[in-house]
Amino acid sequence: MRIASSHLATTIQGTLADGNTRLSRLMEQMSSGKRVIRPSDDPIASVRLRMIERDEVLLAQYRSNIGTLTNQLQRNETHLQGMLDTVMSAHDLLVWALDGANSTGDLNAMATTLGSLRDTLHVSANAMDSEGNYLFSGTLTGTAPIGYDPTLPVGSRYSFDGNDKRQQVVVGNGLTQSGNVSVDSLAEVLNRIDAALAVLQDPAADASDPAMRAILAAAEAAMGAGMDSLTAKMGELGGARNTIALLDDTHAAMQVGNAAATEQVAGLDVAEAYDRLTRHTVAIQATYQVYGRIMQLNPYDLL
């Protein structure tokens, strides 16, 4: 059977082109270290990789949310600690003021310190973040949580103008964690301090006066309740931080698992790939040599 030279050339060129394509794809795989670069390389593996990638995107977002939430919880806890310290100082001062041995001068001097503590607590309760959002007003982040109206009677000038709703953050599949607490209890604390301040500032303040002592005792009790409330809120924030820290560790472990799964599905066996590269190279070289030998044949040389 005779084969036309043109047909032979076309066949050989097609074989070489196919071999070069396979060689190029193999070199691309070796360069990237991946067996699956495009869906056509392995359709089933490609589907599995897309699922892993989608899961990885979600895990990365969860961990980003957890990082942001952790910073928020730490910041809020720091502010609450400052408020707790202030209320504790006010409590200690009021306990001292209830000592019947204090003179009028002593009581008036205490008023100066108590007034400073009141103002500090008010400012701390209305703390804002870098974007101007109030930290402790619930979901009403544009409203100062503790309002003040100087036209109202002493003991009722401070009010809680926020709400106790929570700002929920997604930290896992179907899991959310709140990142805020409110300071609704501080309105009563500030009003009691304000009332105590009014009697301590009186030039005729008398440590043995039953009416004054009743006001101071009520303020001291309010400080105790305020400390309990702030301590509970700090405990809540600390518990939330521990919870999301454990959840973050879980997400990190899942990411490690995804990386291992990706390597198993799409990873390239370098030794096997090098062996294939050698075989492809040898096959292409042999094809070129055979084609060259055939093209050099001349039937007249056999006569």
The predicted-structure confidence for 116-136, as pLDDT tens digits, reads as follows 999 999 999 999 999 999 999
Claim to verify: residue 35 and residue 77 sit in the same structural domain: no
**Lowest-confidence region among 65-74, 214-223, 294-303:** 294-303
> Percentage of the chain surpassing pLDDT 90?
66
Claim to verify: residue 19 and residue 65 sit in the same structural domain: no
Token pair in block for residue 79: 């502010």
pTM for the model stands at 0.76
Q: Identify the pLDDT of residue 39.
A: 62
Q: Identify the pLDDT of residue 85.
A: 98
175 DSSP β-pair partners: 172
What is the rounded distance in angstroms from the CA atom of residue 106 to the CA atom of residue 273? 89
Whether residue 242 lies inside any domain: the answer is: yes
Claim to verify: residue 208 and residue 81 sit in the same structural domain: yes
Whether residue 303 lies inside any domain: the answer is: no
What's the mean pLDDT when you consider all of the chain?
A: 84
Claim to verify: residue 205 and residue 256 sit in the same structural domain: yes
What is the rounded distance in angstroms from the CA atom of residue 190 to the CA atom of residue 161? 14
Is 80 exceeded by the pLDDT of residue 297? no
Claim to verify: residue 27 and residue 171 sit in the same structural domain: no
Average pLDDT over residues 64-89: 97
Q: Which of 154, 152, 227, 153 is nearest to 197 (CA)?
A: 154
Average pLDDT over residues 186-201: 97
Q: Identify the pLDDT of residue 58.
A: 95
Token pair in block for residue 303: 């006569």
User: What is the tally of structural domains in the chain?
Assistant: 2
Claim to verify: residue 145 and residue 127 sit in the same structural domain: yes
Average pLDDT over residues 54-73: 95
The predicted-structure confidence for 29-49, as pLDDT tens digits, reads as follows 555 556 555 665 567 767 787
Residue 89 Cα to chain centre, angstroms: 34
CATH code, domain with 87: 1.20.1330.10
Claim to verify: residue 103 and residue 43 sit in the same structural domain: no
Claim to verify: residue 19 and residue 124 sit in the same structural domain: no
The predicted-structure confidence for 260-290, as pLDDT tens digits, reads as follows 877 776 655 555 655 565 665 666 666 666 6
Q: Identify the pLDDT of residue 1.
A: 47
Average pLDDT over residues 47-57: 85
Whether residue 56 lies inside any domain: the answer is: no
Claim to verify: residue 146 and residue 226 sit in the same structural domain: yes
Whether residue 265 lies inside any domain: the answer is: no
Whether residue 149 lies inside any domain: the answer is: yes
Claim to verify: residue 39 and residue 75 sit in the same structural domain: no
Q: Identify the pLDDT of residue 261.
A: 78
Is 70 exceeded by the pLDDT of residue 11? no
Domain span at residue 114 reads 61-260
Whether residue 85 lies inside any domain: the answer is: yes
Average pLDDT over residues 235-252: 95
Claim to verify: residue 112 and residue 184 sit in the same structural domain: yes
Whether residue 302 lies inside any domain: the answer is: no
Whether residue 301 lies inside any domain: the answer is: no
Claim to verify: residue 169 and residue 238 sit in the same structural domain: yes
Average pLDDT over residues 85-103: 96
Q: Identify the pLDDT of residue 48.
A: 82
